[in-house]
Amino acid sequence: MKIFVDADACPVQSELIDIAEDYRFEVTLVKSYSHYSIQPLPSHVDVVYVDKGADMADFEIIKLAKQGDMIVTQDYGLASLALGKGCHVMHHKGFMYTKHNIDRLLSNRHANQVARRAGHRTRGPKAFTQEDRDKFSTFFEEMLQKITN
């Protein structure tokens, strides 16, 4: 199993990289060239850069991922495609996307888009806290244990 990260907006990259190293999993960060970095990364981490543009990282992740791989993303569309491919898909807020919740999540996203187009204001995401980081780390480690056993 490999771990792919939709890395342009992922706030838990360092936690994810550290935990994956403990379990000896390879991590691939997929991000646009506009997020290019010269920061040194551990040997188990690869970075794939894609052109800037809507969904370019998503398409690359779907191209690279295989059944049974783990994908970390906040993008519901990518999550839906990855589930269809047989991947394990996790949100950085510490929950798994499943065939049981993806339709509701996509429906809510669509309803919010329609409301915004009609001029209504919708709530954005809450600020990401240290508690959220800790929740992700705990949940991510639990999922890796469950998946590998």
Note the pLDDT tens digit of each residue in 112-123: 676 777 887 777
Separation between Cα atoms, residue 132 and residue 81, nearest integer Å? 25
Specify the pairing of strand 70-72 against strand 2-6: parallel
pLDDT at 84 over 80: yes
Write down the mean pLDDT value for the chain: 90
- pLDDT for 112: 67
- pLDDT for 42: 96
- pLDDT for 110: 61
- pLDDT for 27: 98
* CATH ID of 2-148, from 1.10.1740, 3.40.1710, 3.40.50, 2.40.30: 3.40.50
pLDDT at 103 over 90: no
Report the predicted TM-score, pTM, of the whole model to 2 decimal places: 0.87
Note the pLDDT tens digit of each residue in 53-82: 878 999 999 999 999 999 999 888 899 999
Higher pLDDT: 25 or 53? It is 25
